[in-house]
Structure 1
Amino acid sequence: MDDLEAKEKAELLVLHKELDWLLKQEVHPVLQDIRETLQECYDSLPFHGTLEKSRPAELMPQRILLTCPNGPSMNFKSVVTLRGDCVEAADLQFKHRQGKEHHLFKTKIRQGAFWTLPQIRDAGNHLCCALEIVSRNEENYTYKSVKEVFLILDELMDRLMKCRQCLSLPKRKSIHDLIENQNLQIFNPPLPNDIAVSFYIHTSKLVLALYVLHHNGQHKVEITHRVQVEAIVKWLNEAIIFFTLSLQQCQQLKDKLMAVAQILESP
């Protein structure tokens, strides 16, 4: 064996030891750190989760003033009460055209009714799955290969991205979805026939959009005007930060393992 072969063999031995150390000493602490981050996120999200861990029977209501981000428009204002993943009270006020004149129209969600926000529930359910994945192996478990760790990290990152996407990428509603939404029936007095509204989450904000509709003679409906009011919700902002931080931790661990594994696999 010449000096070059001996040197290469020594380098490979060092790399194998480094990879073995990463698998034994680095994976568990990182996954534990991610688990603690996600648990903190779960505890801060006020929704009825599916984990065995007990949660408060009553979620605390939060009164929120929604305002127009680009300045007043149509005198659109709203004060809502958010409890977990439900808007359980809302006062709406907007300028509405009746004939040739505009009048201030006021309505509210009738008592006992509520508007559910499925994005929060869906994000919470994906979060529960992420917690299950990161808690799957006990601390004394020995990871045997990079591939095994990657399978866990890929599954975990997929759930975390879905958590974040549920909040940051609201599903676009068609005009049919807007006007056929049963939630429009929960307002008293009823909304005018040419008005539709929709509550949704966009990243860290609760948004209320108002649509002015035009019914043409061919039984088609067009949106002639749209305006929205919104407010940042603290715990939604924290959830986005937790999801992003956990994804970064997963990627950093993957990069460390990949850097060593690729050198060992190279010819």
Structure 2
Amino acid sequence: MPTTIVLFEQKSLVKMDDTEERRTLDAELAWLLREQVPKDLTDIHQTLMECSRRFPFRMGFDDRTVVKPQRNLLSNPNNTGQIKCVVTLMGDTLCDADISFRHKAGKENHMFKTKISPDIQWPLPQVQEAANHLAKALSIYHKLSGDQTFTSAKQVILMLDETMKLLNMGRTSLAFPKRKSIDDLVQYSSMQNFHPSVPSDVAVSFYVHSAKLILAVYHLHIVNSCREISSRHQVECTVQWLNEAVVLFTLALQQCQQLFDKLKVLESVHTHGEKVS
């Protein structure tokens, strides 16, 4: 009989300890949802707004932008004079460009000069794609009211998960340009914007790689009725507002991830406690 009483008392103590721990976790989760979550979401929203001001588009949330038309000299230490380029970048478009590149016609090498006139634009779809993803992320936070309250960790986790997916797609749009086939390069509609037209054995591509604007010139030759690249040369320049946009995308992702991890841990323990009890 004494042994039975001791075991019963031990079980009761364990039950009390579990209950107390559960109350502590519930209180911590409630505090996080009430105090910390609104503050962290406000910080994330402010970072997204700052990022949006690095784009030249009116997203419906804030008309301010730090982006102005900018004349850029593209260069490359290893270029050895193969390409020279000066462009005017206006947000997601090149609205003016002077380009010259070394081209072989027959046995002669000469500098071929061409330009994109100010009244003809060369779009940079990567910038537009990044802005679209950012605008969707901003719309999530724009819907939140100032006195928004959250009743569960799952509610916030789902919102953060959607935000991080959009921000990752936005940052990827800038950081990892999509590869184009030779035919895509040659048949790209903006290739018609050059005056004079570039030679038929040359393809030109402007694209963004993170904070850099890049011009690549491809020299082609025909092998068995197929175009192949015989040489490729590029010049580039760093664009300050693109650099800031990438940094702010990354900062917003870090802010989301930190809050996501906190909530995920508490939700996991909380859910486990409910199943055990």
String of CA shifts for 1:75-110, please: whole Å, max 9, x gaps: 211111001111111111111111112111111113
TM-score normalised by length of structure 1: 0.93
- Correspondent of 1:33 among 24, 40, 43: 43
- Correspondent of 2:23 among 7, 13, 20: 13
Please give the alpha-carbon distance, in whole angstroms, between the structure 2 residues aligned to 1:108 and 1:245.
Answer: 38
SS in 2 for 1:40: helix
String of CA shifts for 1:170-212, please: whole Å, max 9, x gaps: 1111111101012111111211111110001111110111100
Please give the alpha-carbon distance, in whole angstroms, between the structure 2 residues aligned to 1:60 and 1:50.
Answer: 17
Aligned-residue identity in percent = 44
Please give the alpha-carbon distance, in whole angstroms, between the structure 1 residues aligned to 2:54 and 2:108.
Answer: 47
- Aligned residues of 1:107 and 1:187 also touching (Cα < 8 A): yes
Matched, 1:248 2:254: yes
Task: Give the AA of the match of 1:4.
Answer: V
Greater C-alpha radius of gyration: 2
- Aligned residues of 1:95 and 1:104 also touching (Cα < 8 A): yes
Please give the alpha-carbon distance, in whole angstroms, between the structure 2 residues aligned to 1:173 and 1:234.
Answer: 26
Task: Give the AA of the match of 1:254.
Answer: F
Partner of 1:49: 58
Unpaired segments ≥5 residues, structure 1? none
Please list, as runs of the form range in 1=range in 2, the aligned pairs for 1:193-232 lying within 5 A after superposition: 193-216=200-223, 218-232=224-238
Please give the alpha-carbon distance, in whole angstroms, between the structure 1 residues aligned to 2:265 and 2:64.
Answer: 42
Please list, as runs of the form range in 1=range in 2, the aligned pairs for 1:1-267 lying within 5 A after superposition: 2-45=12-55, 47-51=56-60, 53-54=62-63, 60-68=68-76, 70-73=77-80, 75-216=82-223, 218-266=224-272, 267=276
Distance apart, 1:227 and its partner CA = 1.1
Q: Which consecutive aligned stretches of 4+ in structure 1 deviate over 3 angstroms post-superposition?
A: 52-56
TM-score normalised by length of structure 2: 0.90
SS in 2 for 1:44: coil
Please give the alpha-carbon distance, in whole angstroms, between the structure 2 residues aligned to 1:126 and 1:51.
Answer: 14
- Change in Cα spacing, 1:74 to 1:194, as seen in structure 2 (3 Å) is farther
String of CA shifts for 1:6-37, please: whole Å, max 9, x gaps: 12211110000000111111111111101111
- Aligned residues of 1:204 and 1:234 also touching (Cα < 8 A): yes
Task: Give the AA of the match of 1:265.
Answer: T
Distance apart, 1:136 and its partner CA = 2.1
Please give the alpha-carbon distance, in whole angstroms, between the structure 2 residues aligned to 1:52 and 1:236.
Answer: 20
SS in 2 for 1:2: helix
Unpaired segments ≥5 residues, structure 2? 1-10
